[in-house]
Amino acid sequence: MKKYHEKDADLVSFLDSLFIEKGLSKNTVSSYKSDILDALDWSMTKYKVSLKKIKNHEIETYIKFLFDKNYKSSTVNRKISSLKAFFLFLLKKGYISENPVGDIPSPKQEKRLPVSISEDDVEMLLNAPIQDSFVGCRDKAMLELLYATGMRVSELTNLKFSDIDLTRSIVKVLGKGSKERLIPFGESANEYTKIYLENRSQRGINRSIQYIFISTRGSKITREGFWHRIKLYSRNINATKNISPHTLRHAFATHLLNRGADLRSVQLLLGHSDLSTTQIYTHIAKQRLSDALKKHHPRG
């Protein structure tokens, strides 16, 4: 059913506009596509009509359906946001006369802080890869660079040789919305990246590919592939928290703030377009300070 819906002309036109006109990444466009296909599949199953003919009260029924399926409010909000963008597109094109999602408020979202880990935990994770193999050298370099820069995992796996300057220890990152930013990194990340690149060169693994981090088969390592490597190292160090590539991005931001970095600088390094997105990390930093005060101060 969904394969058939993927050919829906309105959906194809909308996704093309996101990618071509708005310059959104393939991953972001894919998220929009998944959300709208879910709604379209539900609409065709329940009402036998396309989303173009759906009404306001039917959208409310769909939202209830999502909550009945035990989706988190953050997921429901994302799906509503995707539908709002889709219907706004149809409205501007004149394909519909009114937006069925326009007056629907987003469900109240529980405020959840991102998972962050201590500097000691990060140190254990960074030291987990055994560097007597190509994979170990690669993973060590990737972990070091991820923590040193706060990059998203997709930004890390998409790095090319033309994006990194090891002489000046600067990396050029292509972020969301095709926005570029330059991020400096420290000696440790520089050193282990050089060790990995030398190892890669000596082994002659697909010298033609321009992506820096590759698999043993010579293709670009995937986000999923690296995620599984981190899961392996997390088990090896008996991590008590659920560590993912994004955890290191959170740790990067939190540890910078804990050590006195200003919020605006962290925002630029993370590539956040809105400062409010970065401000969530101040809550984590304050919590760490509060915990330290309670633990060590005589009147804590």
Q: Which amino acid is at 206?
A: N
Options 152, 200, 229, 255, the catalytic residue: 152
Identify whether 207 is a catalytic site residue: no
Q: What is the pLDDT of residues 49-68, one digit of tens each?
A: 788 888 888 888 888 898 88
Cβ-proximal residues to 4 (8 Å cutoff; 6+ apart), any chain:
none
Options 33, 249, 250, 255, the catalytic residue: 249
Q: Is the Cβ–Cβ distance between 230 and 244 less than 8 Å?
A: yes
Options 62, 147, 233, 281, the catalytic residue: 281
**What is the structure's pLDDT at 211?**
94
Identify whether 203 is a catalytic site residue: no
Q: What is the pLDDT of residues 213-260, one digit of tens each?
A: 999 888 999 989 999 999 999 999 888 778 888 888 888 888 888 887
Identify whether 152 is a catalytic site residue: yes
What pTM did the predictor assign?
A: 0.60
Interatomic CA distance for residues 147 and 128, integer angstroms:
14
Q: What is the pLDDT of residues 98-131, one digit of tens each?
A: 888 877 766 655 555 566 788 899 999 999 999 9
Give whole-number Cα distances, 239 to 9, 139, 234, in Å: 47, 17, 5
Domain ranges of the chain: 2-92, 119-296
Identify whether 241 is a catalytic site residue: no
Q: Is the Cβ–Cβ distance between 148 and 185 less than 8 Å?
A: yes
Q: How high does pLDDT run on average in the chain?
A: 83
Q: What DSSP element (H or E) covers 39? A: helix 26-46
Options 52, 72, 246, 288, the catalytic residue: 246
Q: Which of 71-85, 119-133, 156-170 is predicted with the least confidence, judged by mean pLDDT?
A: 71-85
Residue 298 has pLDDT above 60, yes or no: no
CATH code reported for the domain at 119-296: 1.10.443.10
Report angle CA 212, 221, 38 to the nearest 5 degrees: 130
Which two structure tokens, joined as six digits, stand for 52? Answer: 């173009």
Residue 299 has pLDDT above 50, yes or no: no
Q: What is the pLDDT of residues 172-224, one digit of tens each?
A: 988 777 778 888 999 999 999 999 999 998 887 777 889 999 998 889 999 89
- Topology of domain 2-92, CATH: DNA polymerase; domain 1 (1.10.150)
Options 52, 223, 272, 288, the catalytic residue: 272
Q: Is the Cβ–Cβ distance between 116 and 284 less than 8 Å?
A: yes
Q: Is the Cβ–Cβ distance between 261 and 278 less than 8 Å?
A: no
According to DSSP, the residues that pair with 211 across neighbouring strands are 160
Strand order through the sheet with 164-165: 164-165, 170-174, 180-184
Identify whether 138 is a catalytic site residue: no
Options 78, 176, 220, 288, the catalytic residue: 176
Q: Categorize the per-residue pLDDT at 167 as very low, low, confident or very high, splitting at 50, 70 and 90.
A: very high
Phi, psi of 203 (to 5 degrees): -80, -15
Identify whether 179 is a catalytic site residue: no
